[in-house]
Amino acid sequence: MKKVFTFLSLCLSFFFFSCNYFSTNDIYSSIVINFGSVNNSRAAYTIDDLSYCVVSIEPKVQDDIKVDLANGETKAVFRNLVKGTYKINVSAFDENNTKIANGESEQVEVKPYRRNSVKITMKFLSTDYSDCVVGDFILKDGTILSKNSNPQPDTVAAVIVRAAGDGKPALGVGIVHNKDGLAWCTNDADGFNTNITELQGTIEDGYMDGSDGWEKLKDVCSDAVEHPGNYPAWNYSLTYALNNNLTGELAEGWYFPTVAELYTIHDNLGTIDASLERAGGNQFDYGYYWSCSQSITNDYNVMAWDFNYGEADDSACKNDSGASGYYVCTVKAFK
C-alpha cells in the first residue's frame, strides 16, 4: 500500500482577472497558476527536484497544460473561463517521467473584478518498501529494483540489507563507504573518555537501532552540537546524503549503524556484496567497520564496538584511524 507523505507546500498564486472581451450575460476570466513562488516545508526538496508538472481543471473545460519546469517555464494559464466554480489539479514528475507528487485546490469560485488566491498542498508519493528482500536496489529516485536486475550506472542509492519484519522496517546501506580511516572521535572530543551508556549494546541486545544515535550522543557530549567534526565517523554519516547528491526522501534519515545492524549485514554478506558490486559501490569483503555503539565495559570509556567481518570487537580505541584501517558505512530505514 502506497503511503503518501506531505513534504512540500507550493504556494501557487491563482490570479483571477477579467479579460477584455465579455458579453452582457457572461463574464470571462483567466486563471494563472504561478510556480515561481515556493514555500518548501521540507528542506530536502526544492522546485528543482521536479522536471515538469501537468495541470488540469475541473470541470474539464480545457485541455491539460504541461509546465516544463526544467526548461524554465513557471506558470500555466487557463483562459476564457465562464464565471463559475472550478478545481485545479497538479501532477508533478521527475526527469524519468515518474509521477512523484500530486495536489489539488479547494473549489474556487471565479468572480469578476476581484483578485482571488488559493494554496495547493502538494503531496509526494512514497514507495512501499515492505516487500523488499535482501539485495534489492533502492534507486536514487526512491524506486525499487530487484536484486536480480542489473541497474544502470550511477542510479543506485542503497542496497537492502534487512527485509521488513518483526516490527522493523527494511534497512538499506549506502553504496559508498569511507575507507580512508576515520576515527570514531578525536582525542579532544567530549565523547573520547566518556562512558555513554545510552549507546551501549551488543549484537543481540541493548542499543539495537542507531537511527537516534546522534541525538543520544549530543545529549551526553555537548561539543557534538557545535563541533561535529570531533566525531569524524559520525559526521560522515550525517553528511552522507549531501556529499552523494541524494535528494527527495533520500536526502534524509541516513545514520551511523549499531554493532547489531552491522551484524545483520554480516549475516547476509554474500548477497549484499553481490548487489553492491553490480551497483558500482563499495563491497564489504573483510575489514574493520566502526559501529556507533559504545563499549559495554565501563572500565574502557575510550573503547567502541567495531565489526571485522566475521566477529565483533568492543576493544577498539575511539581515536583509531588512518593506518589502522577503520571503515564507515551508512544505513537508512526504508518504510
Question: What share of the chain has pLDDT > 70, as a percent?
Answer: 83
Q: What is the pLDDT of residue 113?
A: 57
Q: What is the pLDDT of residue 77?
A: 84
- Mean predicted lDDT score pLDDT of the chain: 83
Question: What share of the chain has pLDDT > 90, as a percent?
Answer: 58
Q: Write 52-57 long-range contacts (CB < 8 A, 24+).
A: 52/92, 52/93, 53/90, 53/91, 53/92, 53/93, 54/90, 54/91, 54/93, 55/88, 55/89, 55/90, 56/88, 56/89, 56/90, 56/91, 57/31, 57/86, 57/87, 57/88, 57/89
Rounded Cα gap, residues 152 and 116, in angstroms? 47
Query: Would you say 121 and 92 are in contact if contact means Cβ atoms under 8 Å apart?
Result: no
Task: Check pLDDT > 60 for residue 274.
Answer: yes
* Segment of 97-106, 254-263, 302-311 carrying the highest mean pLDDT: 254-263
pLDDT in tens, 218-273: 999 999 999 999 999 999 999 999 999 998 789 999 999 999 999 999 999 999 99
Q: What is the pLDDT of residue 48?
A: 64
How far separated are the first and last CA of the chain, in Å rounded? 11
Confidence tier at 37 by pLDDT (50, 70, 90): very low
178 φ/ψ angles, rounded to the nearest 5 degrees: -90, 120
| Cis ω for the linkage preceding 165 (within 30 of 0) | no
23/91: higher pLDDT? 91
Task: Check pLDDT > 60 for residue 283.
Answer: yes
Sign of the four-CA dihedral 181, 186, 192, 196: negative
Q: What is the pLDDT of residue 256?
A: 98
Task: Check pLDDT > 50 for residue 98.
Answer: yes
Q: What is the pLDDT of residue 44?
A: 36
Rounded Cα gap, residues 199 and 213, in angstroms? 7
Average pLDDT over residues 23-48: 50
Q: What is the pLDDT of residue 46?
A: 54
Confidence tier at 24 by pLDDT (50, 70, 90): very low
Task: Check pLDDT > 70 for residue 27.
Answer: no
Q: What is the pLDDT of residue 286?
A: 76
Q: What is the pLDDT of residue 323?
A: 65
